[in-house]
């Protein structure tokens, strides 16, 4: 993992010595990506900047790399996993100056031209200068794991691994694309197929496309794109049995993990306790592999904290859990630093937790320079099938529901047809009517679903995995993004998908005999959503509210933010979240605030990431040897219970109602803002239902309990839970407004 950047004249002119200052600024901004070495090169029309994190050939693998005849110059960020195999395929006599895995790319280009990446397996962003042909090439891996952004005008093009580096160039615009950002489906979490190019969020900033070689003529700027890989569609049929598919998948995944474990430096692994990261840990085969996990109220409730501990013990690897207790709230400057590092308004709690895991690993174990991840398994292995079925649904429900998403995507192009589906609760037209002329196969929306996931991986997953790791001078490695694996599962015939891709069956079956059955069969859980969401929301609500809503007020301070953001509405949304952490979405609020903050930061550039985060509190681990023995203490740290005062008067919150239906005796419905949130049964929870019915806002709790024949000790855990949820509040004195 390195930082690559540079500038080139594309009008036939030459760079002057004035370009050296820009090259130094580019390298300085990218120093966090490569703290081990920095090299600059300016010759004729091209200037290159390179900052290195040395994982392979630490002594001799510096860049730029130059071909033996001096005609080709290359800088690269990433890894070529099969470089030895590729080197063996070269003609006899091919000479290498280094042990770098990237040097083979020079030879491949000289032999194969624009097809030089066809057989390369790895993750990379490459800038190649062909002196003979007077051309500059931008190349990225098949999934866009490694970034490469650029801005161009008529005279020159400036490029870098991160957008923030481009802003050091006075000729690059520094203007947030408000309209494009607000219209992005990812910003509003709208479930809709998106196949457009990745959003860079800033005007005039472009991203070199994944799986593509961009060729730029330096004499006139003429550009053409050569796409060397695309997602395959389903095979028409296959003689292979399900078992053979599973065996092939197992072999490919094992090869990919071993490839990603290739390094001359130490690696770590993020372990969630799910099948994805556990499979990587098992196949890595390193008994001393250090693993790191997130310990929050959310991961306690969803089981990740417990299962990561148990998985590590089953696999015989050490595990460190980084504690985010109830008081660990990101500071104002800490959040702004993280946002500037990630340079995306989609920055959220997930990025904060992952950044802190990387930071802990790097601070405590400086020798760790790479981190293995279980990311990107769900996208292609069927990990989201249950999310799109509805409760109790099956594969046919999944296909029907993603078919509706495909139809919605087509109706974006012809909204005048939408009313045919909106005006009736039974279908009047087949989906072919929406897709006609658009090249969409109504019978098989799965390909469109996979194409959407391919795009969202680039927009969100690999983007933030790269930045949160790079911000700590660590390289993120993603074994599940091996093109051979993805090609295998994407090409499964339509009639075989239900057998192999429902709830990741192909992966689960592949791990039989490698992982314990408990890990194989553990259901997929969200990182911090679900039952424990309120604990995460509470933390980040406090972050937004600290300092008198300081982050909000700074976000509102730009002229364009005031033009687009309804300030009173945002403040009121925050107040509602303070009263009830689940009364809204802190992520939606964060995205708007992030936009405003990014707008301010582009006007007044922050310090480079290498100089930031120095004042942030050092991550803290919670050590324990047995989950069962420590669970109570863990819960107290991550989910402190609210105090319960027996002398106080309690009542249901003003917007909460306990209701019943005469036809359903013994069943009570807890309504919040008119929506049913909980169903209670007198048979299963008699004490709780009786207590909630008796809280009248006038009688003290101890008298209510005495009247019901219960003690506080009996009902305290249930009371703490409903108070923590905000459903029951302490009533105001008579004559005062209710809380």
Handedness of CA 266, 271, 276, 282 (dihedral sign): positive
Residue 65: which of 113, 31, 38, 100 has the closest Cα? Answer: 100
Q: What is the largest CA-CA distance in the chain?
A: 94
- CB half-sphere exposure, 272, CA atoms < 13 A: 23
Judge contact between 186 and 175, C-beta under 8 A: no
Judge contact between 29 and 164, C-beta under 8 A: yes
Cα distance between residue 406 and residue 412, in whole Å: 10
601: helix, strand or coil: helix
Catalytic, 676? Answer no
CA angle 260, 103, 126 (to 5 degrees): 75
Phi-psi region of 737 (alpha: psi -120 to 50; beta: other; left: phi over 0): beta
Strands (E), 622-682: 649-652, 656-660, 667-672, 675-681
Judge contact between 479 and 257, C-beta under 8 A: yes
The first and second tokens of residue 364, run together, are: 């405590």
DSSP label of 640: P
- Extract long-range pairs of 216-219: CB within 8 Å, 24+ residues apart: 216/8, 216/10, 216/135, 216/136, 216/137, 216/138, 216/157, 217/10, 217/134, 217/135, 218/8, 218/9, 218/10, 218/12, 218/45, 218/46, 218/134, 218/135, 218/136, 219/11, 219/12, 219/134
Judge contact between 576 and 385, C-beta under 8 A: no
Handedness of CA 492, 494, 495, 500 (dihedral sign): positive
Q: Known catalytic residues?
A: 2
């Amino acid at each position: 993992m390195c930082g690559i950047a540079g500038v080139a004249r594309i009008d036939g002119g030459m760079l002057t010595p004035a370009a050296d200052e820009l090259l130094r600024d580019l390298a300085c901004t990218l120093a966090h990506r490569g703290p081990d070495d920095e090299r600059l090169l300016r010759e004729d029309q091209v200037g290159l900047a390179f900052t290195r994190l040395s994982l392979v050939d630490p002594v001799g693998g510096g860049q730029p790399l130059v071909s033996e005849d001096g005609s080709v110059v290359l800088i690269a960020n990433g890894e070529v996993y099969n470089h030895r195999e590729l080197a063996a395929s070269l003609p006899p006599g091919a000479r290498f100056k280094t042990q770098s895995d990237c040097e083979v790319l020079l030879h491949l280009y000289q032999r194969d031209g624009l097809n030089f990446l066809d057989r390369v397996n790895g993750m990379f962003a490459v800038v190649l200068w062909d002196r003979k042909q007077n051309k500059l090439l931008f190349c990225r891996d098949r999934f866009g794991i490694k970034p490469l952004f650029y801005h161009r005008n008529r005279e020159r093009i400036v490029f870098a691994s991160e957008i923030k580096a481009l802003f050091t160039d006075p000729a690059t615009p520094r203007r947030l694309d408000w309209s494009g950002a607000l219209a992005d489906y990812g910003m509003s979490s709208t479930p809709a197929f998106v196949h457009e190019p990745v959003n860079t969020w800033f005007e005039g900033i472009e991203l070199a496309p994944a799986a593509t070689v961009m060729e730029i003529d330096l004499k006139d700027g003429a550009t053409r794109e050569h796409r060397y890989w695309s997602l395959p569609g389903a095979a028409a049929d296959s003689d292979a049995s399900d078992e053979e598919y599973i065996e092939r998948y197992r072999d490919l995944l094992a090869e990919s993990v071993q490839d990603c474990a290739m390094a001359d430096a130490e690696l770590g692994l993020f372990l969630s306790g799910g099948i994805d990261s556990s499979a990587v840990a098992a196949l890595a085969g390193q008994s001393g592999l250090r693993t790191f996990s997130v310990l929050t109220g959310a991961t306690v409730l969803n089981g990740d904290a417990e299962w990561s501990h148990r998985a590590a013990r089953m696999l015989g690897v050490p595990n460190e859990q980084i504690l985010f207790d109830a008081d660990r709230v990101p500071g104002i400057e800490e959040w702004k630093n993280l946002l500037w590092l990630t340079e995306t308004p989609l920055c959220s709690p997930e990025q904060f937790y992952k950044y802190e895991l990387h930071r802990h690993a790097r601070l405590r174990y400086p020798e760790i320079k790479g981190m293995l991840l279980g990311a990107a398994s769900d996208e292609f292995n069927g990990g989201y099938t249950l999310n799109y079925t509805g409760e109790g649904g099956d594969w046919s429900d999944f296909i029907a529901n993603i078919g509706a998403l495909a139809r919605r995507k087509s109706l974006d192009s012809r909204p005048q047809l939408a009313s045919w589906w909106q005006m009736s609760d039974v279908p009047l037209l087949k989906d072919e009517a929406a897709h006609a002329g658009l090249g969409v196969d109504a019978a098989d929306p799965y390909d469109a679903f996979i194409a959407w996931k391919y795009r969202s991986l680039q927009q969100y997953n690999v983007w933030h995995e790269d930045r949160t790791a790079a911000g700590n001078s660590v390289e993120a490695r993603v074994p599940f993004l091996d093109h051979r694996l993805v090609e295998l599962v994407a090409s499964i015939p339509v009639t075989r998908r239900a057998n192999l891709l429902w709830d990741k069956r192909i992966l689960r079956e592949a791990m039989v005999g490698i992982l314990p059955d408990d890990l194989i069969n553990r259901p997929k859980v969200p990182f911090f959503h679900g039952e424990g969401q309120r604990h995460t929301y509470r933390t980040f609500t406090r972050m937004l509210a600290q300092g008198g809503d300081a982050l909000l007020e700074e976000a509102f301070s730009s002229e364009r933010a005031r033009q687009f953001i309804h300030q009173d509405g945002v403040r009121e949304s925050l107040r509602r979240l303070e009263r009830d952490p689940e009364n809204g979405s802190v992520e939606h609020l964060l995205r708007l605030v992030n936009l405003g903050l990014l707008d301010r930061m582009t006007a007044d550039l922050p310090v480079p990431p290498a100089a930031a985060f120095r004042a942030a509190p050092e991550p803290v681990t919670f050590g324990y040897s047995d989950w069962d023995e420590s669970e109570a203490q863990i819960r107290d740290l991550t989910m402190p219970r609210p105090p319960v005062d027996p002398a106080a008067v309690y009542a249901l919150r003003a917007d909460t109602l306990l209701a019943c239906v005469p036809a359903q005796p013994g069943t009570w419905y807890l309504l919040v803002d008119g929506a049913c949130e909980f169903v209670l049964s007198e048979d299963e929870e008699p004490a709780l239902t009786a207590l909630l019915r008796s809280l009248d806002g006038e009688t003290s709790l101890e008298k209510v309990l005495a009247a019901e024949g219960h003690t506080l000790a009996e009902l305290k855990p249930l009371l703490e839970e409903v108070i923590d949820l905000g459903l029951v509040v302490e009533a105001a004195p008579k004559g005062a407004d209710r809380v």
